[in-house]
C-alpha cells in the first residue's frame, strides 16, 4: 500500500524575472522565495500547492505552466482579469550575490486575502498538514490582509497543521519601515511551529549577536523547532531536546546564491515530513542548498535535481 503524500501549502508571490547572463543579455524566467521552496518540495515528492494571485496575461499563464510542469498544484492561484504579476531584474556580482530591482506595486499577489474568492485559499489552509510562508509573504499584505492570514494560520493549527516560517527580511519590501516590520513579525511568530531564519537577516532586523541569541528570542514565542541558517557555517538546530550545530558537508564558492535558502527550507521540510529527525533533516537541507548554489538561477536543471 502506498503511503499518502503529505499536503503542504506555500503562500507568497511569484514574479516574472529578467536575469542578466554573462553575455549581458537578459533571460526570462520566474521565481519567488516561497514558490522556489514549493518547487523543491514537489521535486522531493511532497504533495504541494502554491497560494498566490496572478493576472490573466501570457506571463501569468507561463507561471501557471511552470507550476504544473514541476508538479506544484495551481488550484490556489487566483487569476485576476486585467492585472499583471510583479517583475524583477536580477544581476549577479562577481561573488555570486544578487542585485535585485523589483516592480511589485499593483501586483495581485499583494491582495490575496482581499479578493472576493480568498475563502478558497482559507478552506485549503484548513486541510493542510503544513503551511509555509516567509517575511516576504508578510511584506506583501495590508494590515487587513495580514490579520486575515494570521487568523487562518491559528485556525489551521487547531486542525493540526504545522506552520513553518522563514523570516527572510528584505528592507525594500517593507519600504524601510522597521517598526511595522517588527510588529508584523512579532504577531506572526505567535502562530509558528517551525522557524527557519537566516542569521544575517535576524541580525539586521533584531540586532541578534549570534545564532544562539536568535534561538533564544524565537523560543520566547513558544516555537518548538528552530533552524538558524548561517551561510557556509553550521546551521543551529534547536528543539525541546537541546541545540546542535549541523555542519555544511562541503563548503564551496557559489556560482549563484539564488534560492539557496529556499532550497535549504524545502530540503528540511521534506525530510521532516518524511519522518527524519531535525538533525538529519538539516543535513539533507545542506545537501540540497549545496546543489542549488552550484547552478545559475533558482532551479537546478531537472536532470541534475537531487531527489532526497
Phi and psi at residue 228, in whole multiples of 5°? -95, 110
Positive or negative CA dihedral for 256, 289, 181, 126? positive
Nine cell digits for residue 87: 517583475
262 catalytic? Reply is yes
Question: Do the Cβ atoms of 99 and 93 come closer than 8 Å?
Answer: yes
Residues 6+ apart with CB under 8 A from 59: 16, 30, 84, 85
d(CA 304, CA 82): 38
**Which of the following is catalytic: 208, 262, 277, 291?**
262
CA angle 11, 271, 278 (to 5 degrees): 100
CB 182 within 8 A of CB 169: no
Query: Which amino acids are annotated catalytic?
Result: 262
Amino acid at each position: 500500500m502506498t503511503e499518502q503524500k503529505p499536503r503542504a501549502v506555500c503562500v507568497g508571490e511569484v514574479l516574472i524575472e529578467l536575469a542578466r547572463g554573462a553575455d549581458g543579455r537578459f533571460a526570462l524566467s520566474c521565481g519567488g522565495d516561497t514558490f522556489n521552496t514549493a518547487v523543491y518540495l514537489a521535486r522531493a515528492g511532497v504533495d504541494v500547492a502554491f497560494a498566490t494571485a496572478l493576472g490573466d496575461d501570457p506571463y501569468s499563464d507561463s507561471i501557471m505552466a511552470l507550476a504544473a510542469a514541476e508538479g506544484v498544484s495551481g488550484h490556489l492561484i487566483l487569476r485576476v482579469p486585467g492585472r499583471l504579476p510583479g517583475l524583477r531584474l536580477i544581476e549577479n556580482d562577481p561573488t555570486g550575490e544578487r542585485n535585485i530591482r523589483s516592480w511589485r506595486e499593483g501586483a495581485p499577489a499583494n491582495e490575496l486575502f482581499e479578493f472576493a474568492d480568498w475563502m478558497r485559499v482559507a478552506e485549503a489552509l484548513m486541510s493542510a498538514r503544513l503551511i509555509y510562508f516567509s517575511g516576504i509573504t508578510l511584506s506583501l499584505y495590508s494590515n487587513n490582509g495580514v490579520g486575515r492570514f494570521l487568523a487562518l494560520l491559528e485556525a489551521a493549527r487547531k486542525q493540526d497543521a504545522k506552520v513553518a516560517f522563514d523570516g527572510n527580511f528584505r528592507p525594500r519590501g517593507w519600504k524601510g519601515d522597521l517598526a511595522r516590520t517588527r510588529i508584523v513579525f512579532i504577531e506572526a511568530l505567535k502562530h509558528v511551529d517551525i522557524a527557519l531564519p537566516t542569521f544575517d537577516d535576524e541580525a539586521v532586523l533584531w540586532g541578534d549577536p549570534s545564532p544562539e541569541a536568535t534561538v533564544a528570542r524565537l523560543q520566547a514565542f513558544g516555537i518548538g523547532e528552530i533552524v538558524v541558517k548561517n551561510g557556509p557555517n553550521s546551521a543551529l538546530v534547536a528543539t525541546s531536546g537541546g541545540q546542535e550545530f549541523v555542519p555544511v558537508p562541503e563548503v564551496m564558492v557559489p556560482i549563484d546564491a539564488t534560492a539557496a535558502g529556499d532550497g535549504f527550507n524545502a530540503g528540511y521540510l521534506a525530510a521532516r515530513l518524511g519522518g527524519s529527525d531535525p538533525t538529519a533533516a538539516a543535513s539533507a537541507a545542506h545537501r540540497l542548498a549545496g546543489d542549488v548554489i552550484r547552478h545559475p538561477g533558482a532551479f537546478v536543471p531537472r536532470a541534475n535535481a537531487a531527489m532526497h
